[in-house]
Amino acid sequence: MASSTSTHIDTAPPVPKSGRSTGRAGDKIFSGLSKGSGILLLVIMASIAAFLTYRASIALSKNEGNFLTTFDWNASARPPVFGIAVLLFGTVVSSIIAMAIAVPIAVGIALFISHYAPRKLAAPLAYVVDLLAAVPSIIYGIWGALFLVPQLNGLNLWLDQYLGWTYVFDKTQVGVARSLFTVGILLAIMILPIVTSVSREVFLQVPRMNEEAALALGATRWEVIRMSVLPFGRSGVISASMLGLGRALGETMAVATVLSPSFLISGHILDPGGGTFAQNIAAKFDEANEFGRDALIASGLVLFLLTLLVNGAARLIIARRKDFSGANA
């Protein structure tokens, strides 16, 4: 009955229930601070969402066009007519192109660093890939406009000649490569570091046991990767890709510098033209009057929702994979 601890002179402090403070001042302050930080974040997010929604509702109530289907952006005119069809299309298409290029390459680099590269090479290489993330996006834009665009003419002609039958790669307009395809390539380079570094961390966390077991069964290195590394890392790679996609969707300056903006939807991704949400906001903000800015904010709200959807989808995919073991850095 009497507890054996009563014989001890210094009793250990009672173990606090999770989330409750023990009543000591330091504890109270610390738990208050951490709770405050959490609440602050929610307040900031809520106020941003409220601001966007309020300003967007002003714009939408006066829009003479259909916000979802109008192929035009004349928000500062009277009457204002604007729609996001072109922007949504351009944003999604350029991001898909970027993902299609960047994810396979990033997974390749990550595997090379984590499983193939000699130790001496792996660390510097990883570091160099991370450095890509340190380049400001406007620099990517300038490099894209002055170097990449002229260099891509040859590739575009080649794609047009041999893949023109796919409709997508059919180049109907002459012109330098200031197209969604070029933007996609540029975005691919920009999201490479984030996808690579997260994937690399995941691949490094594959339990040694699994790999050694596979090796013990006589598997080659490629089979080890196929049977133990990739299945283990799959959800990590998915969440890495989603992080990259989030960045690609919202990229502004690089796109605005490279793309030749126009309000057309074209399935020919090599033709110049199109636009993205962020590029349109950057290009139009300067010359937009009060109402025009509200309209741009409305398009920003759509981008906000699009990003939320993408993240939600990513979480669903990851949640469905039960073998996921907290490897999403």
Partner 1 sequence: MKLQRKNRLRASALGALVVSGALVLTACGSDDNTKTGADGTTKASAPAPGDIKCDGAKGKLLASGSSAQKNAVDLWVKNYMAACSGVEVNYKSSSSGEGIVAFNQGTVGFAGSDSALKPEQVEDSKKICTGGGQGINLPMVGGPIALGFNVAGVDKLNLDAATIANIFNDKIKKWDDEAIKKLNPGVSLPSTAIQAFHRSEDSGTTENLGKYLKAAAPDAWSYEASKKWPAPGGQAASGSAGVASQVKAVDGAIGYFELSYATSQSIKTVDVNTGASAPVKATPDNASKAISAAKVTGTGSDLALKLDYATKAEGAYPIVLVTYEVVCDKGNKPETLGTVKSFLEYTASDAGQKALTENGYAPIPAEINTKVREVIKSLA
Q: Helix/strand/coil (H, E, C) string of 40-93?
A: HHHHHHHHHHHHHHHHHHHHHHHCCCCCCCCCCEECCCCCCEECCHHHHHHHHH
Both tokens of residue 144?
A: 């894209």
Cβ 223 to partner 1 shortest distance, Å: 27
Looking at beta carbons only, is 178 or 306 nearer to partner 1? Answer: 178
How many of the other CB atoms lie within 10 Å of CB of 258? 26
Cβ 192 to partner 1 shortest distance, Å: 18
- Candidate residues 69, 165, 218, 287; the one interacting with partner 1 per rule CB under 8 A: 287
28: DSSP letter: H
Closest CA relative to residue 247, chosen from 321, 190, 179? 190
Cβ 272 to partner 1 shortest distance, Å: 5
Mark the segment that binds partner 1 (CB under 8 A) among 13-21, 73-81, 94-102, 225-233: 73-81
Using CB under 8 A as the binding rule, whether residue 22 contacts partner 1 is answered as no
Using CB under 8 A as the binding rule, whether residue 261 contacts partner 1 is answered as yes
Using CB under 8 A as the binding rule, whether residue 157 contacts partner 1 is answered as no
Using CB under 8 A as the binding rule, whether residue 139 contacts partner 1 is answered as no
Using CB under 8 A as the binding rule, whether residue 255 contacts partner 1 is answered as no
281, 300 in Cβ contact below 8 A? yes
Distance CA 243, CA 264 (A): 29
Using CB under 8 A as the binding rule, whether residue 134 contacts partner 1 is answered as yes
Closest CA relative to residue 248, chosen from 91, 21, 66, 31? 91
Using CB under 8 A as the binding rule, whether residue 79 contacts partner 1 is answered as no
Encoded one letter per residue, x for contact with partner 1 by CB under 8 A and - for no contact, window 165-204 reads --------xxxx-x--------------------------
- Candidate residues 23, 32, 38, 150; the one interacting with partner 1 per rule CB under 8 A: 150
Using CB under 8 A as the binding rule, whether residue 262 contacts partner 1 is answered as yes
- Candidate residues 31, 74, 210, 307; the one interacting with partner 1 per rule CB under 8 A: 74
Q: How many helices (H) and strands (E) does the chain have?
A: 12, 2
Using CB under 8 A as the binding rule, whether residue 123 contacts partner 1 is answered as yes
How many of the other CB atoms lie within 10 Å of CB of 325? 14
